[in-house]
Amino acid sequence: MISFEKQAQSGLARAGRIQTPRGEIKTPIFMPVGTLGTVKAMTPEETRELGAAIILGNTYHLHLRPGDDLIHQLGGLHQFMNWPYPILTDSGGFQVFSLGKLNKLTEEGVTFQSHLNGDTILFTPEKSIAIQQNLGADIMMCFDECIRLPATYSQIEESIALTTRWAKRSKAARTTDQALFGIIQGGLHLELRQRSLDDLMEIGFDGYALGGLSVGESNQEMYEVLRSFANQLPESHPRYLMGVGEPEDILEGIESGIDMFDCVLPTRNARNGGLFTSLGKISIKQSKYREDPLPPDPNCACYVCQNYSRAYLRHLYLSKEILSMRLNTQHNLFFYLNFVRQARQAIQNDDYLQFKNAFLEKYKQA
Amino acid sequence: MISFEKQAQSGLARAGRIQTPRGEIKTPIFMPVGTLGTVKAMTPEETRELGAAIILGNTYHLHLRPGDDLIHQLGGLHQFMNWPYPILTDSGGFQVFSLGKLNKLTEEGVTFQSHLNGDTILFTPEKSIAIQQNLGADIMMCFDECIRLPATYSQIEESIALTTRWAKRSKAARTTDQALFGIIQGGLHLELRQRSLDDLMEIGFDGYALGGLSVGESNQEMYEVLRSFANQLPESHPRYLMGVGEPEDILEGIESGIDMFDCVLPTRNARNGGLFTSLGKISIKQSKYREDPLPPDPNCACYVCQNYSRAYLRHLYLSKEILSMRLNTQHNLFFYLNFVRQARQAIQNDDYLQFKNAFLEKYKQA
């Protein structure tokens, strides 16, 4: 199991520590996404050296390929992928609703067709937990309904009721000492969010996550939920904002009292030539970088910025070299892990707002 | 410039040392290929840690993309790609004859169309040297004609005469202290090979290379040239067998007195799921590895074999993960660099034939 301890606060922003059997996680934390048993383009050692304390695995993807039974047989996900540190697995809920074809939603669960081979598959709360137990994640997530928007108030109301029933079944299905987080749904309706949270707290989980954000609503709508609601999540437990997001979104989440974040942006953008820098995002493919001897981010201390020019990175990208995806990913993960580390430091100095404003002032220049 | 010193001999096999301004190269040596300013999928640090003392760059490819003028402006190829150790560049001869479209061959040089954008480009000995000087390689190669086979005796005779005239022009075009190697052609005709060598030795080069082998002839035909001819190359200079090859070919070359080898096989095969092991080549995509917890090569000390199972590597390959190409490349380069290092040790122990036979006995089991 895990335990959480708050160490410092600055406004609502929190610095804390999650103890897990596989090591400590200092919060706030960004969790790189390792969909298919690898943080794309990185070795586990590199991901660790960049400062990652915990990474994400995807239940849906790993169930389809190579199969959680196989991973279990080979010693679990940690051993399979050579990452001995904490892993959080999602429940597959988001993916079965977004990637699977021809969903059929019943009280029992969701029937969908594999995006790989069209096989018909049923995911239930019990199935999701069984898979996550096979994978052996340190933190598991409840199987939730990710309702398609737009939806009416009463549709969302029904959906959070279903998510609550599934959360109960998820917890009941657990037969190990892996931690389990509940997922709060409710769209942009604060009273439904509160109801969802109350339901989940009554069941009792090791941490609480905000799901169903950053799914198409405006930034201001998401920020409004964060500002009004994030601090309602129990003080004593880790708070996780799922699938978010841009650096400014994460800073907003931290300011609202969130502890944990994950997002594919740093890794996915990297593979498309997009780099995060202290002066904003750049696209390395642009012709203005053709002869540019500067590193991607002159203010950055990462391996890439210490050793390579924009001109070289542009050449690698245009030549479709594998090293392009490696170096871009390495830089972006450093950027994310580093600014969240700085945010933690600022919270410990009770200086968070000043840090955030200074960061954004530079970042939004570009 | 460079200097060569022979340190030990076992039969005709030689162990030696090439001194270059950027460091020492212990021979025999395998040179990983870094076509476009990167050994595909590897960082320079990794390539170095695997034991590479020198890598190859491709004049043709780098001229087209990103351009040797750009590389020169950014400090040369070493700085551009962050590899401070020796680099050998080929002359582009092989590529203009194999990749370029619509070649027109004259005394002056070769006109061809870029395989990238169809631009018409003229390569001459002077142009090749100018590009290689822009790149700043420690060892440059003469621009040679790579005649298409089959060819008649008199066609090959004319071709080596042209290669000799181009070699003279290549040497005359050099305005730096970069080393320059001559390339011996002559197909499978030993007397033409000898004539080509005599011509080149009269001009005088810093090393001598065998070109035009491993281009479609049988192994036995190539081995025959190696056995009968390689030891004719000057004792006092490095001997380089270009573009070769399979481990057994390299062992044959070493036995015949060759010092330097390069080949895309370890890196290219890696990206297609092909792994070299002490028990022969395997294809990691095969279904028999689905649940296999063993490392690719149980006898191998490399990072990959210490940390990953065949089942995991198969999963990465089938999932088209970038890490698949990285780990496979890392393993294969280790395998190549390691067996050539062992060959050197065996020569120093005057035990080369026994080493070779023991290696092949295991290797050919598969």
Is the minimum CB–CB distance between A38 and chain B shorter than 8 Å? Answer: yes
Overall size of chain A counted in residues: 366
Select from B317, B93, B292 the least CA-distant residue to B185: B93
How far are the Cα atoms of A78, A163, A168, B122 from residue A137, in angstroms, in the given order? 8, 21, 19, 60
Q: CA B175, B176, B177 angle in degrees (round to 5)?
A: 135
> Testing the interface with A: which of B33, B38, B73 to mutate, by most A Cβ within 10 A?
B38
Give me the helix-helix angle, A310-318 and A322-348, nearest 10°: 130
Q: How far apart are CA A96 and CA A86, in angstroms?
A: 24
Sort out which chain B residues have CB atoms less than 8 A from A319's CB and list them.
36-37, 65-66
> Testing the interface with A: which of B45, B312, B333 to mutate, by most A Cβ within 10 A?
B312
What chain A residue is nearest to B292 in terms of C-alpha separation? A74
Q: How far apart are CA B199 and CA A127, in angstroms?
A: 76
How far are the Cα atoms of A4, B20, B30 from residue A133, in angstroms, in the given order? 22, 57, 46
Q: How far apart are CA A154 and CA A156, in angstroms?
A: 5
Helix, coil or strand: residue B87: strand
Is the minimum CB–CB distance between A83 and chain B shorter than 8 Å? Answer: no
Cβ contact, residue pair B312, A36, below 8 Å: no
CB-nearest partner of A319 from B65, B309, B325? B65
How far are the Cα atoms of A36, A304, B84 from residue B32, in angstroms, in the given order? 30, 22, 15
Is the minimum CB–CB distance between B284 and chain A shorter than 8 Å? Answer: no
Q: ipTM surpassing 0.90, yes or no? A: yes
Only one residue has tokens 């090439």, namely B18
Sort out which chain A residues have CB atoms less than 8 A from B40's CB and list them.
321-323
For residue B140, which amino acid is it? M
Beta-sheet strands, E only, within A235-342 = 239-241, 260-262, 274-277, 280-283
Is the minimum CB–CB distance between A16 and chain B shorter than 8 Å? Answer: no
Whether the CB-CB separation of B328 and B308 falls below 8 Å is answered with no
Is the minimum CB–CB distance between B40 and chain A shorter than 8 Å? Answer: yes
Cβ contact, residue pair A312, B80, below 8 Å: yes
Select from A56, A168, A161, A68 the least CA-distant residue to A121: A68
Cβ contact, residue pair A65, B293, below 8 Å: no
Q: How far apart are CA A244 and CA B287, in angstroms?
A: 38
pLDDT digits (tens, 9 = 90+) for A33-79: 999 999 999 999 999 999 999 999 999 999 999 999 999 999 999 99
pTM of the model: 0.97
Q: Which of B206, B259, B262, B297 is catalytic?
A: B262
For residue B29, which amino acid is it? I
Alpha-carbon distance A11 to nearest alpha carbon in chain B (angstroms) = 41
Cβ contact, residue pair B326, A322, below 8 Å: yes
Select from A244, A179, A258 the least CA-distant residue to A2: A179
Q: How far apart are CA A138 and CA B167, in angstroms?
A: 65
How far are the Cα atoms of A298, B81, B88, B186, B211 from residue B145, in angstroms, in the given order? 46, 29, 19, 10, 10
Measured in Å, how far apart are chain A's first and last C-alpha atoms? 44
pLDDT for the residue numbered A204: 98
Q: What is the dihedral of CA A8, A9, A14, A15, to 10 degrees?
A: -20
Cβ contact, residue pair A322, B321, below 8 Å: no
Helix, coil or strand: residue A162: helix
pLDDT for the residue numbered B3: 98
pLDDT for the residue numbered B98: 82
Task: List beta partners, residue A105.
Answer: A110
Sort out which chain A residues have CB atoms less than 8 A from B69's CB and list them.
none
Q: How far apart are CA B244 and CA B365, in angstroms?
A: 22
Tokens of A55: 């990474």
Only one residue has tokens 């052609």, namely B185
pLDDT for the residue numbered A147: 86
Count CB-CB contacts under 10 A for residue A235. Answer: 12
What chain A residue is nearest to B74 in terms of C-alpha separation? A293
Whether the CB-CB separation of B308 and A82 falls below 8 Å is answered with yes
> Testing the interface with A: which of B319, B320, B333 to mutate, by most A Cβ within 10 A?
B319
Cβ contact, residue pair B43, A325, below 8 Å: no
Is the minimum CB–CB distance between B292 and chain A shorter than 8 Å? Answer: no
Is there a catalytic annotation at residue B206? Answer: no
Alpha-carbon distance B65 to nearest alpha carbon in chain A (angstroms) = 8
- State how beta strands B101-105 and B87-89 pair: unpaired
- Phi/psi of residue A305, nearest 5 degrees: -70, -20
Cβ contact, residue pair B43, A323, below 8 Å: yes
Helix, coil or strand: residue B20: strand
Sort out which chain B residues have CB atoms less than 8 A from A321's CB and list them.
36, 38, 40
Q: What is the dihedral of CA A97, A103, A105, A108, to 10 degrees?
A: -90
Cβ contact, residue pair B40, A321, below 8 Å: yes
Q: Buried (b) or exposed (e) across B125-161, using 16+ Cβ within 10 A? A: bbbbbbbbbbbbbbbbbbbbbbbeeeeeeeebbebbb
Distance of CA A224 to the CA centre of its chain: 20
Cβ contact, residue pair A315, B73, below 8 Å: no
Q: How far apart are CA B271 and CA A337, in angstroms?
A: 30
Q: How far apart are CA A102 and CA A120, in angstroms?
A: 9
What part of A 304-343 touches B (C-beta under 8 Å)? Answer: 307-309, 311-312, 314-316, 318-319, 321-323, 325-327
Select from B240, B238, B233 the least CA-distant residue to B90: B240
Only one residue has tokens 């990208």, namely A317
Helix, coil or strand: residue B181: strand
Tokens of B98: 């194999």
Sort out which chain A residues have CB atoms less than 8 A from B314's CB and list them.
66
Cβ contact, residue pair B291, A73, below 8 Å: yes
How far are the Cα atoms of A16, A220, A244, A325 from residue A50, in angstroms, in the given order? 20, 31, 20, 16
Q: Which of B90, B138, B249, B259 is catalytic?
A: B90
pLDDT for the residue numbered A103: 77
Measured in Å, how far apart are chain B's first and last C-alpha atoms? 44
Select from A59, A58, A55, A86 the least CA-distant residue to A179: A86
Sort out which chain A residues have CB atoms less than 8 A from B333's CB and list them.
none
Q: How far apart are CA B208 and CA B197, in angstroms?
A: 8
Sort out which chain A residues have CB atoms less than 8 A from B82's CB and list them.
307-308, 312
pLDDT in tens, chain B (366 residues): 899 999 999 999 999 999 999 999 999 999 999 999 999 999 999 999 999 999 999 999 999 999 999 999 999 999 999 999 999 999 998 888 887 676 799 999 999 998 888 899 999 999 999 999 999 999 999 999 988 878 999 999 999 999 999 999 999 999 999 999 999 999 999 999 999 999 999 999 999 999 999 888 999 999 999 999 999 999 999 999 999 999 999 999 999 999 999 999 999 999 999 999 999 999 999 999 999 999 999 999 999 999 999 999 999 999 999 999 999 999 999 999 999 999 999 999 999 999 999 999 999 976
- Low-confidence stretches of chain A (pLDDT beneath 50): none
Catalytic site positions of A:
90, 262
Cβ contact, residue pair A40, B70, below 8 Å: no
Q: How far apart are CA A16 and CA A31, in angstroms?
A: 15
Cβ contact, residue pair B80, A38, below 8 Å: no
